[in-house]
Amino acid sequence: MRAGRVAYFGLMVKEPPARSNRSTIGRVTAVIVMGLAFYIVLPALVRVISSWPRLLTLAPWWLVVAIVAESASFFCSMALLRLVLRSEGWFPVVTSALAGNAVTNTLPGGDALGASVQYRMLATAGIDSVQAASGLAISSIIGIAGLLSLPIFALPVVLGGESVSAGLVHAGELGLFGFVLITVLGVLLLTTDRTLIVIGRVVQWLFNKMPRRAATTDLPKRLIDERDLVRTDLGKNWWKAVILIGGRIGLDYFSLLAALRATGARPNPSLVLLAYAATAVIALLPLTPGGLGIVEASLSGLLVLANVPSASAVVATLAFRVGSYWLPTMAGGVCWILFRRRYGPLKVGEKTT
């Protein structure tokens, strides 16, 4: 399960500044928060990880189906990003997405760092910086809105009178509330200039405070122009965006169902959908890198509430995370090497890394 990153507007033109006391305090704070989160979820994480040997007992074909579905889910995510970036090439989109995802999954405060790496890789590959940032922001908002809308599809089973855990019902209500908020934000950004002007002025002010950088004066206008281009393209290709975000989330969810079937469990798909949606909402909180520990603890526990046997819930969670967390993280390192071999050091302005 992949948490949507929402830090892109703060990274529209942002690059890591010179080391300062403020940045050091921020990193220390991130490490402390991550440590506390790990301490809370450590028992559940250890329980899930200790089930590694049981992966050998899973039905192999269902396990293959789970990994293939997860791979297809990542492909849909990258295709959506390519669509909103209006890019013809696949290489920079795929490598930047997987490398940024790997950073998010491994470092404290990884959401912002992963978004920054992805943004800088796209800029290095020749994509306009504002075009890259707005594309990342819009794909992130669309992805989060899709995740938060999932409880809607589970409403029939809830309204149909089937016994549903109160915890799953409350999680669904939280998801619906978040869906309304993110939808309102998306509508404001896509249909009004005032909100984007305010965001552009704030980001521009922060950007101009950075050392050794030329002052920027036209960021709000550039953001509006880029927004209009993206809106026009999405207006023409809205059905592609709907199919791709549906494919990304639907295949990710199907991967979880396949992992459950690999254990021999036959749960109610609607209840599993509620558990999946609730975990997706929880994973949006950047408490640990890539939701490590948080996802394992919440998903395995919520699957039990969805009437999945405890042992099956734990090993299915582990199998699901192999495809959604561990394999993509390793692939991200390979993508970083391939990208550097083709494009060289990352470039932002006159700096290289």
Domain ranges for the chain: 66-344
Partners of 352 in the β-ladder:
347
More confident position, 216 or 196:
196
Any long-range contacts for 297-301 (C-beta under 8 Å, 24+ apart)? 297/41, 297/44, 297/45, 297/48, 299/1, 299/256, 299/275, 300/44, 300/47, 300/48, 301/44
Q: How do residues 143-190 score in pLDDT, each as one tens digit?
A: 887 877 777 776 666 555 556 666 666 666 666 666 677 667 777 777
Which comes out higher in pLDDT, residue 57 or 44? 57
Residue listed under structure tokens 């669309």? 142
The Cβ of residue 104 has, within 10 Å, a number of other Cβ atoms equal to: 26
Flag whether pLDDT at 327 surpasses 90. yes
Q: Among 7-21, 131-145, 311-325, which stretch is predicted with the lowest mean pLDDT?
A: 7-21
pLDDT at 259 over 90: yes
First to last CA, the chain: 30
Stretch (H or E) spanning 8: none
Across 37-58, average pLDDT: 72
Does 17 have pLDDT greater than 60? no
Name 26's Cβ contacts closer than 8 Å, sequence gap at least 6: 109
CB atoms within 10 A of CB 1: 26
**CB neighbours (10 Å) of residue 236?**
9
Listed residue (269, 272, 293) closest to 282, CA to CA: 293
Q: Mean pLDDT score of the chain, rounded to an integer?
A: 78
Alpha carbons 344 and 346: distance in angstroms, whole number: 7
Residue 45 has pLDDT above 60, yes or no: yes
- At 26, is the pLDDT very low, low, confident or very high (cuts 50, 70, 90)? low
Q: Determine the pLDDT at residue 13.
A: 41
pLDDT value, residue 75: 95
- What amino acid occupies position 202? V
The model's pTM: 0.76
Q: Is the pLDDT of residue 5 over 70?
A: no
Cα–Cα separations (whole angstroms), residue 333 to 72, 81, 102: 19, 20, 7
Residues 6+ apart with CB under 8 A from 284: 3, 4, 6, 144, 147
Query: What is the C-alpha separation between 239 and 311, in angstroms, rounded?
Result: 40
Instruction: Check residue 347 and give its pLDDT.
Output: 64
Q: Is the pLDDT of residue 2 over 50?
A: yes
**Among 82-86, 149-153, 212-216, 276-280, which is the least confidently predicted range?**
212-216
Structure confidence at residue 233 (pLDDT): 66
The more confidently predicted of residues 45 and 91 is: 91
- φ, ψ of residue 165 to 5 degrees: the values are -60, 140
Residue entry with tokens 């869906």: 179
Q: Are 278 and 171 in contact (CB under 8 A)?
A: yes
What span, in angstroms and rounded, lies between the C-alpha atoms of 109 and 31?
8
Structure tokens at 122: 């796209």
